Amino acid sequence: MSKLVTIYGGSGFVGRYIARRLAKQGWRVRVAVRRPNEALFVKPYGAVGQVEPVLCNIRDDASVRAAMMGADAVVNCVGVLNSIGKNNFDAVHHDGAERVARIAAEQGVAQMVQLSAIGADANSDSEYARTKAQGEAGVRAAFPSAVILRPSVIFGSEDEFFNRFAGMTRFGPILPITGGDTRFQPVYVDDVAAAAEKAVLGQVEPGIYELGGPDVATLRELIDEMLEVVQRRRAVINLPFGIAKLQAAVFDFIQWMSGGLIKAPLTRDQVRSLAHDNVVADDAKGFAELGITPTATEAILPDYLWRFRHNGQYAAIQASAKNLRTNG
């Protein structure tokens, strides 16, 4: 019988790519999510019955245990960018990760992969980074042979980074950002999935791996690259951190008053994170040790950001027609 992997958060941005890769490897894939009816799109990743979404609440032992029953490997991709209600940073990044690792050890699971983030630091002023580090510590204590992946900002067709900024270009000539001089090392989502795949297959030594793409760039440089791809001119304004904090405080208050129904587009915790570089440490293990060559942004961004151009998929055709009229 083929092996079984449970992927917590397997319908999310990164999880779906991991699910697709492991299905191609012949594994049975159990996608553990809060709303299985919204994750049915993963079923065609494999043969009939090979990939199945199941109900799971990562805050509950019994739920996590049921989703893991009989699994040979587990991958935890569950994470949040905004701490709201019961699914806050501590409950998800810290307690949730620790819970998955503890139950995996109890059930004798052979391999565990934990998706963390560059910048995870128990002493960070960012709650996101701090709880990511606490989750890593919990995983390593309960499951010492786990592989922990720390990606920089992840890009791909479903990302919340380039898509978000590209969407903002539609609303006016000014594009406000914060942390324009902060450095990032964007990593392609399928490269992260390839690293997780190798770990599940037992081809990776236990430990922490920091994953960054081939290029390091400031946020301002990445925004300029995005603007070039979407073929729009915008005045990029780098807001001082003080102003950004005040703005984020207002957004946080609105989110709190609405009970989370209105999500803050920028939180105070995100502003704190933006003050720190998000790049692979010089002494960290990474793609080189995994035998993976990371993909550059320039190879991927045009494949999905074209929809933000004035004429969408027809922009190239219009440009070609203009050249013909000019040459004619």
Cα–Cα distance, 124 to 182 (Å, whole number) = 16
The pLDDT of residue 316 is above 90:
no
The amino acid at residue 221 is E
Residue 261: which pLDDT band, with cuts at 50, 70 and 90?
confident
What is the average pLDDT score of the chain? 94
User: Would you state the pLDDT for residue 311?
Assistant: 74
- pLDDT at residue 283 greater than cutoff 70: yes
pLDDT range class, residue 177, cuts 50, 70, 90: very high
Residue 282 structure tokens: 């010089």
pLDDT-derived band at 260, boundaries 50, 70, 90: confident
Q: Which of 136-140, 256-260, 264-268 has the lowest mean pLDDT?
A: 256-260
Helix orientation angle between 97-106 and 61-68, rounded to the nearest 10 degrees: 50
Beta strands in the chain (DSSP E): 4-8, 28-33, 51-55, 73-76, 111-115, 147-151, 154-155, 174-178, 183-184, 187-188, 207-211, 217-218, 235-239
**pLDDT > 70? residue 290:** yes
The answer, yes or no, to whether residue 309 has pLDDT greater than 60, is yes
Q: Which residue's structure tokens are 């490997």?
A: 73
Express each pLDDT in 29-71 by its tens digit: 999 999 999 999 999 999 999 999 999 999 999 999 999 999 9
Please list, in sequence order, all residues whose beta carbon lies within 8 angstroms of the beta carbon of residue 288, skipping any fewer than 6 positions away: none
Average pLDDT over residues 162-172: 94
Give the model's pLDDT for residue 97: 97
Instruction: Give the domains, in start order, of the chain with CATH numbers.
Output: 4-155+184-214+277-293 (3.40.50.720)
